[in-house]
Structure 1
Amino acid sequence: MKQKDILKFWRDVEIFDLPSFDNEARILNEKEILPWNNTNRTVKKNYKWRYTLIFGKIDKTSIVNHLNDLLGITDPNDWETPVTGASSLSALMLNENGQIENEEYMVSSYLLGIKALEKNLHLSTIPKAIMESKNDFYERYNLKSNNDNDDKLEQEESISWDHLLKEIAYVSGFSEWSAKKIDVYVLEKLVPKDSEGNLSLFNSFYLDDLNYLSGIEEDKLGQALQSYLHLNPLKEKREDLIGSPDYLFQSIAPRLMSAGRWPSNIAHGLYTAQLGAVNTIFANLREQRGLQGVNGPPGTGKTTLLKDIIAEVIVERAKVISALGCHSIFDSGNRIIEQESGFNLYTYPLNKALRNNFGIVVASNNNAAVENISKELPLKSKIDIKEFPNADYFSDFSQNLIQEESWGVLAAALGNSKNRSSFRQAFWKANNADGEPAFHDFLYSLYKDAEDDQTYAYMKSFDEKNSLFMSLLNEFEAFKKLASSFHTQLPKYINNKKIQDSTRVEANEIAENLHSLKEEEKTINALIDQIEEDVNRLQNLIKLQTVRKPLFFFFHKLFQSNKFKQWNLQAEELMNDLNAGNLSLKKTRDHLSLNNAALGKLMTQEANNKKVLASLEQFFLAYEKLQDELFSTYGIEPKNLLNTDLLQKDLNEIQLLNPYHSAKIAKLRSDIFITGLQLHHDAILANAKKIKNNLNAYFMMSSGWVKVESDMAQNLWDTFFLCVPVVSTTLASASRLFANLNTEQIGWLLVDEAGQATPQSVAGLIHRSKRCIIVGDPLQVEPVVTIPENLVTKLRQQNNVHVDWSPCKTSVQQLADRVSLAGTYMQVGNSDDKIWTGFPLRTHRRCDEPMFSIANQIAYGNQMVKAIKTNSEEEFIGPSTWFHIETTTEPQNKHVIIEEITFLRHKISRLIDKMDYKGHIYVISPFKSVADYCKNEFKQHQQVFCGTIHTFQGKEADIVFLVLGSDPKSSGARNWASEKPNMLNVALTRAQKRFYVIGNKKLWATCDYFSTMARNLQ
């Protein structure tokens, strides 16, 4: 298996993506005048009519049923969320005159895919078949090439019913399996004259990118995409941040701390794992390409993390601008974009140091997630305005972009043509009723009067801001140096403490041994004195014995007389005693020498230990001085220092720390960010003409009015990113938004809610990006795959791809996690297997008990740590409870238990009518039929929201009801809902204060994960 095989497999899956029919379209009647031929049609000023013709309306269920028939699937599961809505066969876009607009024609790729399956053809033929269908289309509509521009097609007449009938006949050849009549529908819309039209929604949003990527050599793929598709993750190099806390300690080193911080409340710092994640991301990706997964369960501060990443990227660019100076942010010369009108666009190349590195794209397949980040970044209410009253980044031109008060042009939601048009009109060339200038007008006003060129004032201002910026950076570097010195001392402190303890033990042993040896010395010396006295006595006796020799000693000895014998015996006895005494004296003196040697050695050791202990005391004093200095100079409380107290803390307590945080450091870092933005501001306005020209070309490019090559597109995009740091988009819109960008031309890609994105949905965007941060949770909502799993399996097997790459089995988050070296192993639920996640965020700030503990146990291996106290002051309708409901009646719509709905109605009525509860109430069910029934039941209650877990991903409410449903006589549906912890985990973690379960506790308590909830909910 190769990476190209994976890309081909994903391409084949996307071929069967079912485009959704637009219900605003109306059916065309052959007898009526075609809309574009209606001369009585009115049009608003600066607007035009656009007509989208849609051929056929087929229920998606019938398409899926046909696919099941082709694959031999006779009994699909009825409890799985069914495919809903209708699809179409082909589509065509017309201008106000009924002529083809921008060659916009599309035949649904799934039709060609079905035809290939029917004929047992390989799906690699489909891209060619799509191109052939377009060529056939040109012939059917008598379109011919324009000799002046081979890339354009010219149409001489408007579309008639004859053309439409030809199209019906054409698509009929692909849909013999459908007995439904093929009607023609029209979608009529008044659109701004400058708006672009596209039919991208009529086929997979990802098909073109995947087709391109699967056709190029693997070494030509972006480095981040190569990492994403890595076939053999480097498991031996993984750093388990929870299993081996040393890695976590290293990740929060102050030397890694980023200079930029979002200007939020300075009282709040990042938790340990958040700080570690930000540090790790920039340590690994600041200077190189790649990818990092971040595992963020609900309520663990993913948005806070993303804001600080954005702040640091902006500061990094500010450093480059600071070094270049405002005069040098552009290279010399210009580049011309030629237009058919003859009016050429003059653009200016950004300095190479500013290209391809700093553009930030936030993407998600979740519209709400994209909107949230785009709307939140500019909100004045979301920053600490008291501490940062001067926080302002072109706020005069950002107020039209959001409804609430804005502090700057920080982000642009550009995911679809409507968003792009809205942003362009609100920011660039606004048609304000009050006459306020848009950014285009403002830039032009700065330099249009040569005698009053205001750009010079911004050059001077830039120099002043630059001095401040450098001063703030120097102050931060001084802090980092001091904090790093302290941080790096902790391992040495811990080791020195061990040395001190062992040295003190040794010193006590030495003292005891010294005492023993000194006492022994006394005893030995006393013994020597006694022996010497005995030896002296014996020597004197021997002298006396010599004097006592018998007279005529020679003869007595010669004849061995009795006198000689008696004398000699006494002499020998004395001599023997003397020899023994001398021998004893020698041994005792030797013993004394050995004792003295041991005594000297111990005394040397004692002296050395005293030096060691004195040196250690000096170290501890210096360490405490560093700690005191961090507090006195920077206000960092000891609780936020990784100091000696760490030795007494467990990992959960460490997760709750705000390492190296203080209000002063938070303000310093946020000041660096804001001053960095001000550098951007002044550099932009000091180069107003070049910026205006480039932005003008950018907006023309993004509107589809001019075509440019990728290097030109990159320059225009980087100019836009210079002015508007963040662009948000859905994954579905990304390929069209960045169609002109190629390999690694986006600096930073931040993918949010990646756990619910199919693995193939990011391939094109990752390929276009240098650095990718993938944030999400694979244990929340899973990716939605609308085609039958058996078909996915067939496509996978055709391409010889392992099941791990199947969109039915994995997500963007899981693939990013597997290749992220910084992460952790986590046990899920009752399984003995452990999964590897990306950098683990584990400090939870949303749910009260028991929701927190249940979710923590079933989904996160009890790794999460609760950072808020449970609030039990509000009564609601009692504590979180499982209301056991049994039924004797048949369920409706297979899963709806009427007794459960009746009970739910009673509880919600009590909350709203009797307790006057005004907050939102979420009603969640595993089954769509139950959710739909509840939705209809409470349609008059605006504060009650009903749906499956997909409705509520990323949302939260004080009160959540989980209505279980399911046929008591059938366990299949319950087994499906409890196959993984995801469904229950999402439901639990939507609830901040109360979680009420309604359903048969006896039946559901036998299911995985629900059994844990049954034990924790009364």
Structure 2
Amino acid sequence: MFSPQRVERVSKERLVFAALAGQPLPWEAGHELSGWRLRPDQTWQHVVYLGIYRLDELFEVLSRLFGPSPESYDERPAGESAVAAFTVDEHGHMLPDSLVLSSCAVATGELLRTRRVRTDLLSRLGAATEDLDESLQKRLPAVTIESEDGEPTLVSGVVDHRLLSDYQKVAVQTAGVDAALSFGDIRIRSQLVVRRDEDEPVANECCHGCNRPAARAANHDFLNSPIMRDLGRVAEKIDKGDVGVALRDYLRPETDLATTGRVDVRDRIDAVLAATAPRAVPAGRWPSHPEHALALNQQLAVSTALGTSAGILGVNGPPGTGKTTMLRDLVAALVVERARRLAALTDPARAFTGRQQRYVTGQRTRVVDVWQPDLTGFEMVVASANNGAVQNVTDEIPAADAIDDSWRERAAAADYFPDIATALLTGRPDAKQPQVVEQAWGLVAARLGNKTNRSRFLNTFWYHKPDKSRKGPGEGHTWSGMLAVLKGYEQTVPDVGWSMAVSRFRAAEARVEAVRRKRAEVYRDVERREHPENHLADLRHAVKVAADAVESARLRHGAALDAERERAAEADRIASALQAGAERDARRRAAAADQTLATAERQVEHLSTGRRATAERTLWSCEAELSRWLTAQAAHQRAQPGPWEWLRTLGEAQRRWSYHDGQLLAGVRQAQVALDAARAERAAVQVEIDVVQRAVDTARRQADEIRRTLAAGVPKPQVDHAPLTAARRTVASAEQELSTAVRTHRAAEDAIRAAEADLSALQARLVRAASALGRHFPDPGWHADRQRRESAALWTDREWNEARSDLFLAALALHKAFLRHNATRMRRNLQAAMDLVGGDAPADLAPEAALAAWQSLFFVVPVVSTTFASYDRVFGHLGREALGWLLIDEAGQATPQNAVGALWRTRRAVVVGDPLQLEPITTLPVRTEQAIRTERAVDEQWLTGRTSVQRLADRLTPLGTWLDGDGNPTWVGVPLTVHRRCDQPMFDIVNRVAYGGLMIDGTGTDTGARDRFQLAYPTLPPSKWIDVAGTGARGHWIPDQGRQLDRILATLAELDFDMSEVMVIGPFRDVARELDRRARRYPGLVAGTVHTAQGKQAEVVVLVLGGAPDRAGARRWASSRPNLLNVAVSRAKRRLYVIGDRQAWSPLPYFQILAAALPPQEPVRR
């Protein structure tokens, strides 16, 4: 809201006019523009600015509102803005929807009215704009006119002086600043636009003249922050979780950052060596001089960027350290990688998915073919808050002097549309005056961004047609734009088949990879070489340890054997004692056995002659008794009475017989029992005899055995002697230990012999590699010598550099071959891209169609540039992470908010800048910004005056180092350290002032340029400080210092010095205004504040310090940080002349170093 855009000052050269009473307005008859002769397709549009106010006055109003900052001395913004603006056509009719009301003016009005920061300022702005538009329309009734096609058209009335004055009053009242600010003239900026002829058909495509139509207002957010709308859009996306890696990381709070993984590249040389290994070196390289390799950290940045799939890489780029050089190699790498994927296609038509997107613009239907995902993600956008920065990058890349002379022939053979590129570099093809033709070598980059750049690109790149009748830049305009080129391709058969084009690329690629394999082998040798003597010492130590172990094992083995023998003797003595005891026991047992045998034999005899005889007699007696009873019984049975006897005796005889028979039976039974008992007794006696007999037999055997043992002798017993068992185990262990020690010793000796042989072979290979690679080889001195180490990347010697650069040019040739084989599809897609470039694509165009169109343009032109201010207008149709790469230059000057939209649309971002150069400039006083921050509950880290895009990127980058430029250690991303711009003493000054000795002086490699300068200007004095205190002051301007400056400029003019190589700068605007007056006297001279010098350089720089003698606080502000002095001094390539009060400035921080480095000189008085 508080980012008003500046309105240009009145300048007839720039077609900016004041609306002065009594003088015709630019659309009225009598104005000088009415005499211009225009082409039939040209007409005028005029932007009218109402309520012109000074930005420093606005700053003061806001400062008074919230209280001035005690540190605010010369922070006030310069320039003017306006409260409102609108556009009128060539006749003075106000164009519909062209009114813009300043968000800053409305927000300031609200602050003045409510004394607080409203959270709904955007809606308040919208409502105020509608109110103002309604008020203006009421004052300007519509009229009906006849259009060019004869149809009646309703337009607004013609704007005149009276209406303009009325409009201005209404505008400032609507904004609410009518009482707070003073307003100057009404200002009008006129511009030529091209009429559109919607009816001219060209193969269903747009024709030349497809620029923005005159009936529509030029796209302008010419008063408000150009990023305001896009920030709102992205904020809504973030609220819905629609955010990619890069922006998510960018917005991460400090408390969520993981800083433990940071690697300081100044300390961790091993990490740098690994990160720049041959495998990490990209296949493609810019066609610069083959001997001019990237510096080590440049290569580190390129390799690290290419090794990430998403996110942000911060690169610290102090002045003169080759930021563009680094970015060019990144460009070459990405072009080659895309070509590799192209080469994998057997049919170039397979680069597209087969899906098509269609949309209607005007009366035409566009068809867009969707790309295969593998061929996307290589889009490169260079963006910056500084228009000059992005222009420098994208103008330098295609310029002819961007490639080395040794590549001109090869680049010419690639023939990558150099005529179109040259025309884009030269300027407008329809320019009135002859222009200096800046030759280009190839169409690898182009400026987009603002409307002028986009229109010029559209007309030059796409629609240009040969016009041999015209003379001037571009060799009589005999070249054709891409539209005509592609149509020509459609009508002819490619002279080189796709397979042949791929084969040529593959051949170049094979050369690169063959060298890579050789470099990788050397790298592996280098890894093995690290601390080789330590390795050999370790092996020698291992041999000694093994030998000692063998000796120890032998001693332990001998001791174990001795101990075993002692324990064996002990066991033998124990066994002998046991043997003797056994013999005595045997004799005792023999005697006992004899005694037992005798006793048993006596028992047997006793039993046999005693009890057994008695038992047998008893048995015989019982058998006889039984026999008698049985005989008696048998006789009795025979005497049994018969029936008659029974009858005769009436049974008496029978009864007597039965009675006697019973007695006989009882006798028999009793005798039988006695017999059985006798038999049992006899058997029992026999059993006892058998038992005793067996005892006799056993006793006899035992006695016999004992006697035999005694006769044979009792053997010694096997003794289980525990100490002997332990000793034997010890012996076995010692034998195993000795065997192992001997094997280990032999292995160690074998290892050291092998290592010595390997080391000898390795050293021989490394010697050959060192000889072949020279300064690109990390020999032992490389680690110790930082200047040598960081001055050139490893491995990238002439052979590999030539192959890689050749591969880049082969990649461009393959891209061009692809265009020949896909001419129709590419023409259709590029036509859609031109709709987007020209602003003619539908607002609701499908993101997939827009993306495919942009991808097609990036296929042809790998790099385009834009400022952050124009990013939304260029890429507004694209969604999250749509584009592959964002390359942010001069990121230290960009406020954090600037990059949000670009980061949201990008997968990978390389952020290059320097927090120790000039920081973002804000139009908002510090306390006003703090009040807004507090009201919106925003963390202090997002204050625009406290941080930058660079600082936010650096904190996310794990590879980097610490800088202590202003006394507070600051972590920066990959540091580019080799400085190749400033001679001494300027280099030492900035290196001490800002970088703590981080930078390395690389200017020694370009002694030719220094010698040529010295030869051309031998009388030019060395750098010095001209001590001028001055007797009077006008603000911060010291006239006496101005007189010394005049003498210096006059001397340079007398030497016929190229004044475009002279820069005069100062820290204060009072000084800058006076310097600007000198610039008008010396064409080409660059003059202004130090801020305006950022990104520029000159052979000679004059720093005019100025500084009101009574305002010491202003000098303290200028010396509060190293940034201002760092930028001022680092602009100077050969000479630095400081004009100022040495006594007042030299005690101040950083200026002490300046004073110590520059000898003082009294002013020349004449």
Letter in 2 for 1:806: L
Question: Does the CA contact (< 8 Å) of 1:19 and 1:87 recur in 2?
Answer: yes
Q: 1:966-991 CA distances to partner (integer Å, 9 max, x unpaired)?
A: 23444212211110011111122112
> Partner of 2:480 in structure 1?
437
> Partner of 2:494 in structure 1?
457
Distance 1:706 1:212, change over 3 A: closer
Q: Is 1:656 matched up with 2:778? A: no
Tell me which structure has the larger Cα radius of gyration.
2
Equivalent position SS for 2:332: helix
Distance 2:24 2:899 in 1: 44
Q: State the shift of 1:869 in Å.
A: 2.9
Distance 2:461 2:385 in 1: 26
Listed as ranges, the matches of 1:838-853 within 5 Å are 838-853=973-988
Question: Does the CA contact (< 8 Å) of 1:490 and 1:644 recur in 2?
Answer: no
Q: State the shift of 1:55 in Å.
A: 1.6
> Partner of 2:420 in structure 1?
397
> Partner of 1:499 in structure 2?
535
Question: Does the CA contact (< 8 Å) of 1:747 and 1:771 recur in 2?
Answer: yes
Distance 1:718 1:32 in 2: 50
Q: Is 1:1012 matched up with 2:1036? A: no
Q: Is 1:273 matched up with 2:297? A: yes
Distance 1:122 1:995, change over 3 A: closer
Letter in 2 for 1:67: L
Question: Does the CA contact (< 8 Å) of 1:99 and 1:155 recur in 2?
Answer: no
TM-score, reference length from structure 2: 0.72
Letter in 1 for 2:773: E
Q: State the shift of 1:788 in Å.
A: 1.3
Distance 1:322 1:942 in 2: 52
Distance 1:107 1:21 in 2: 17
Distance 1:781 1:861, change over 3 A: same
Distance 1:57 1:868, change over 3 A: closer
Distance 1:906 1:97, change over 3 A: closer
Distance 1:375 1:205 in 2: 24
Listed as ranges, the matches of 1:918-929 within 5 Å are 920-929=1061-1070
Of stretches 789-798 and 998-1007 in structure 1, the one that deviates more from structure 2 is: 998-1007
Q: State the shift of 1:305 in Å.
A: 0.3
Question: Does the CA contact (< 8 Å) of 1:270 and 1:658 recur in 2?
Answer: yes
Distance 1:517 1:645, change over 3 A: farther
Question: Does the CA contact (< 8 Å) of 2:257 and 2:956 recur in 1?
Answer: yes
Q: State the shift of 1:310 in Å.
A: 0.8
Question: Does the CA contact (< 8 Å) of 2:313 and 2:973 recur in 1?
Answer: yes
Of stretches 245-254 and 15-24 in structure 1, the one that deviates more from structure 2 is: 15-24
Q: State the shift of 1:601 in Å.
A: 9.1
TM-score, reference length from structure 1: 0.82
Question: Does the CA contact (< 8 Å) of 1:877 and 1:907 recur in 2?
Answer: no
Q: State the shift of 1:644 in Å.
A: 4.1
Q: Which runs of 5+ in 2 are unaligned?
A: 143-152, 197-210, 213-217, 426-436, 469-477, 563-731, 1160-1166
> Partner of 2:403 in structure 1?
383
Distance 1:380 1:767 in 2: 34
Distance 1:27 1:44, change over 3 A: same
Q: Is 1:59 matched up with 2:96? A: no
Q: State the shift of 1:672 in Å.
A: 1.4
Q: 1:512-538 CA distances to partner (integer Å, 9 max, x unpaired)?
A: 9999999x99xx9xxx9xxxxxxxxxx
Distance 2:70 2:298 in 1: 47
> Partner of 2:383 in structure 1?
363
Distance 1:623 1:845, change over 3 A: same
Q: Is 1:119 matched up with 2:114? A: yes
Listed as ranges, the matches of 1:80-229 within 5 Å are 80-101=74-95, 103-117=97-111, 118-120=113-115, 122-136=117-131, 139-140=134-135, 141=137, 156-160=155-159, 165=166, 168-174=169-175, 175-178=177-180, 180=182, 184-194=186-196, 195-196=211-212, 197-218=218-239, 219-229=241-251
Equivalent position SS for 2:87: strand
Of stretches 196-205 and 179-188 in structure 1, the one that deviates more from structure 2 is: 179-188
Question: Does the CA contact (< 8 Å) of 2:289 and 2:406 recur in 1?
Answer: no
Of stretches 92-101 and 906-915 in structure 1, the one that deviates more from structure 2 is: 906-915
Equivalent position SS for 1:349: strand
Distance 1:663 1:56, change over 3 A: same
Question: Does the CA contact (< 8 Å) of 2:1102 and 2:1139 recur in 1?
Answer: yes
Letter in 2 for 1:740: H
Distance 1:931 1:599 in 2: 89
Distance 1:17 1:896 in 2: 28
Equivalent position SS for 1:901: helix
Distance 1:399 1:921 in 2: 27
> Partner of 2:778 in structure 1?
642
Equivalent position SS for 2:902: helix
Q: 1:424 aligns with which of 458, 461, 470?
A: 458
Distance 1:911 1:121, change over 3 A: closer
Question: Does the CA contact (< 8 Å) of 1:636 and 1:660 recur in 2?
Answer: no
> Partner of 2:280 in structure 1?
256
Equivalent position SS for 2:406: coil
> Partner of 2:66 in structure 1?
71
Letter in 2 for 1:683: F
Equivalent position SS for 2:855: helix
> Partner of 1:550 in structure 2?
none
Distance 1:914 1:283 in 2: 51
> Partner of 2:17 in structure 1?
26
Question: Does the CA contact (< 8 Å) of 1:243 and 1:825 recur in 2?
Answer: no
Distance 2:1056 2:366 in 1: 65
Question: Does the CA contact (< 8 Å) of 1:882 and 1:998 recur in 2?
Answer: yes
Letter in 1 for 2:484: D
Distance 1:47 1:282 in 2: 46
Q: State the shift of 1:93 in Å.
A: 1.6
Distance 2:280 2:1122 in 1: 36
Question: Does the CA contact (< 8 Å) of 1:91 and 1:199 recur in 2?
Answer: no
> Partner of 2:864 in structure 1?
727
Q: State the shift of 1:159 in Å.
A: 4.8
How many residue pairs match? The answer is 907
Q: Is 1:17 matched up with 2:4? A: yes
Distance 1:131 1:155 in 2: 25
> Partner of 1:293 in structure 2?
314
Distance 1:362 1:277 in 2: 16
Listed as ranges, the matches of 1:510-589 within 5 Å are none
Question: Does the CA contact (< 8 Å) of 1:263 and 1:388 recur in 2?
Answer: no
Equivalent position SS for 2:1004: coil
Q: State the shift of 1:919 in Å.
A: 7.6
Listed as ranges, the matches of 1:988-1003 within 5 Å are 988-1003=1129-1144
Letter in 2 for 1:401: L
Q: State the shift of 1:21 in Å.
A: 4.7
Question: Does the CA contact (< 8 Å) of 1:496 and 1:616 recur in 2?
Answer: no
Distance 1:439 1:89 in 2: 42
> Partner of 1:479 in structure 2?
515
> Partner of 1:468 in structure 2?
504
Q: State the shift of 1:669 in Å.
A: 0.7
Q: State the shift of 1:808 in Å.
A: 0.6
Distance 1:965 1:171, change over 3 A: closer
> Partner of 1:283 in structure 2?
307
Distance 1:971 1:184 in 2: 39
> Partner of 1:623 in structure 2?
762
Q: State the shift of 1:30 in Å.
A: 7.9
Distance 1:347 1:839 in 2: 40
Equivalent position SS for 2:237: coil
Letter in 2 for 1:206: I
Q: State the shift of 1:607 in Å.
A: 3.6
Letter in 1 for 2:824: K
Q: Is 1:954 matched up with 2:1095? A: yes
Equivalent position SS for 1:224: helix
Letter in 1 for 2:1000: V
Q: Is 1:319 matched up with 2:340? A: yes
Letter in 1 for 2:518: L
Equivalent position SS for 1:91: strand
Q: Is 1:696 matched up with 2:828? A: no
Question: Does the CA contact (< 8 Å) of 2:1037 and 2:1106 recur in 1?
Answer: yes
